[in-house]
Amino acid sequence: MAVQISPDSVWVLGTHMTRFARYPDRDLIDLASEGALGALADGEVTVADIDVLACGALFQASGAVGQRLQKQIGQTGVPVYNVANACATGATAIRTVMMAIRAGEAEIGLAVGAEQMGKMGLLGGAATKKEKKVFEPSGRYGAVTGVDGYLGTETMPGVFAQAGMAYAHEHDGVGFEQFARVAYKNHLNSTLNPLAQYQKEFSLGEIMESPMMSYPNTLLMCCPTGDGAAAVVLVSGERLASMPSHVRKRAVKVSASVLTSDPFTEDCQVQPDVNTLTRNAADQAYETAGVGPEDLDLVELHDCFATAELIHYDNLSLCEPGGAGEFIDSGGPFRDGATPVNVSGGLISKGHPIGATGVANVYEITTHLRGEAGDRQVEGATVGLAHVIGLASACGVHILEKAAA
Amino acid sequence: MASARVTLVDYLHLEPEPHLVAQECRHCGARFFDRRNACARCGRSDFAPAGVDGAGELRAFTIVHRAAPGIPVPFVSAIVRTDDGTWVRSNVVNCDPTPEAVKLGMRVQLTTYPVGADDDGTEAVAFGFEPT
Ligand SMILES: [Zn+2]
H/E segment holding residue A387: strand A383-390
Q: Which residues contact A391 (CB under 8 A, 6 or more apart)?
A: A86, A87, A156, A159, A272, A274
pTM: 0.95
Nearest CA in chain A to B66: A213
- Find the mean pLDDT for residues A269-295: 96
- Find the mean pLDDT for residues A287-309: 98
Closest CA to A35 of A25, A50, A20: A20
Among A148, A168, A211, select the one facing B68 at the smallest CB separation: A148
Beta-carbon separation of A166 and B89 below 8 A = no
Among B8, B67, B81, select the one facing A125 at the smallest CB separation: B67
Beta-carbon separation of A214 and B65 below 8 A = yes
Provide the shortest C-alpha distance from residue B101 to chain A (in Å).
Answer: 13
Read off the CATH number of the domain in which A265 is found: 3.40.47.10
Among A135, A169, A176, select the one facing B59 at the smallest CB separation: A169
Distance (Å) from CA B53 to ligand 1 centroid: 20
Alpha-carbon distance of A184 to A178, in angstroms, equals 10
H/E segment holding residue A291: none
pLDDT at B1 over 50: no
A60 DSSP assignment: G
Instruction: Quote the number of domains for chain A.
Output: 1
Which of A131, A151, A208, A393 is the best residue to mutate to test the B interface, defined by the most B CB atoms within 10 Å of its own CB? A151
H/E segment holding residue A42: helix A28-42
DSSP code string of B20-53: EEEEEETTT--EESS--SS-TTT----EEEEEE-
Beta-carbon separation of B8 and A122 below 8 A = no
Q: Are A275 and A342 in contact, with CB atoms under 8 Å apart?
A: no
pLDDT at A258 over 90: yes
CA of B46: how far to CAs of A82, A157, B40, B60, in Å? 37, 36, 12, 31
Read off the CATH number of the domain in which B113 is found: 2.40.50.840
Q: CB neighbours (10 Å) of residue A355?
A: 35
Beta-carbon separation of A145 and B115 below 8 A = yes
Q: Is residue A215 part of a domain?
A: no
pLDDT tens-digit map of A13-59: 999 999 999 999 999 999 999 999 999 999 999 999 999 999 999 99
Q: Which of A110-119, A300-309, A311-320 has the lowest mean pLDDT?
A: A110-119
Q: Is residue A18 part of a domain?
A: yes
Nearest CA in chain B to A172: B104
Amino acid at B23: Q
Output the pLDDT for position A1.
44
At A217, phi and psi to the nearest 5? -85, 110
pLDDT tens-digit map of A187-220: 999 999 999 999 999 999 999 999 999 999 999 9
Q: Where are the alpha helices (DSSP H) in A336-375?
A: 346-349, 354-369
Instruction: Quote the number of domains for chain B.
Output: 1
Q: CB neighbours (10 Å) of residue B130?
A: 14
Q: Is residue A210 part of a domain?
A: no
Q: Is residue A38 part of a domain?
A: yes
Beta-carbon separation of B33 and A141 below 8 A = yes
Question: Strand, coil or helix: what is A307?
Answer: helix
H/E segment holding residue A159: helix A156-170
Q: Which of A120-134, A256-270, A329-343, B91-105 has the lowest mean pLDDT?
A: A120-134
**Full residue range of the structural domain in which residue A102 is found:** 10-120+224-402
pLDDT at A131 over 70: no
Confidence label for A128 from pLDDT (cuts 50, 70 and 90)? low
Residues of A with Cβ-Cβ distance to B101 under 8 angstroms: none
Provide the shortest C-alpha distance from residue B40 to chain A (in Å).
Answer: 6
Question: CA-based angle A361:A302:A254, to the nearest 5?
Answer: 40
Output the pLDDT for position A129.
55
Q: Is residue A214 part of a domain?
A: no
Provide the shortest C-alpha distance from residue A327 to chain B (in Å).
Answer: 22
Beta-carbon separation of B68 and A141 below 8 A = no
Nearest CA in chain A to B5: A135
Beta-carbon separation of A155 and B68 below 8 A = yes
Report the catalytic residues of A.
87, 352
**Full residue range of the structural domain in which residue B14 is found:** 5-131
Q: Is residue A208 part of a domain?
A: no
Among A135, A155, A212, select the one facing B6 at the smallest CB separation: A135
Task: Please count the CA atoms within 13 angstroms of the CA of A143 that sit on its side-chain side.
Answer: 17
- Find the mean pLDDT for residues B28-52: 96
Counting one residue from chain A and one from chain B, the pairs whose CB atoms sit within 8 A come to 165
DSSP code string of B55-117: EEEEEEEEEE---STT--SSEEEEEEEETTS-EEEEEE-SS-SSTTT--TT-EEEEEEEEEEE
Output the pLDDT for position A191.
98
Q: Is residue A159 part of a domain?
A: no
Among B7, B118, B126, select the one facing A133 at the smallest CB separation: B118
Confidence label for A405 from pLDDT (cuts 50, 70 and 90)? low
Supply the mean pLDDT for chain B: 96
Which of A120, A130, A135, A172 is the best residue to mutate to test the B interface, defined by the most B CB atoms within 10 Å of its own CB? A135
- Find the mean pLDDT for residues A272-276: 94
Beta-carbon separation of A130 and B70 below 8 A = yes
Distance (Å) from CA B24 to ligand 1 centroid: 8
Output the pLDDT for position A122.
76
Q: Is residue A219 part of a domain?
A: no
Output the pLDDT for position A21.
97
Q: Which residues contact B22 (CB under 8 A, 6 or more apart)?
A: B11, B31, B32, B33, B49, B50, B52, B86
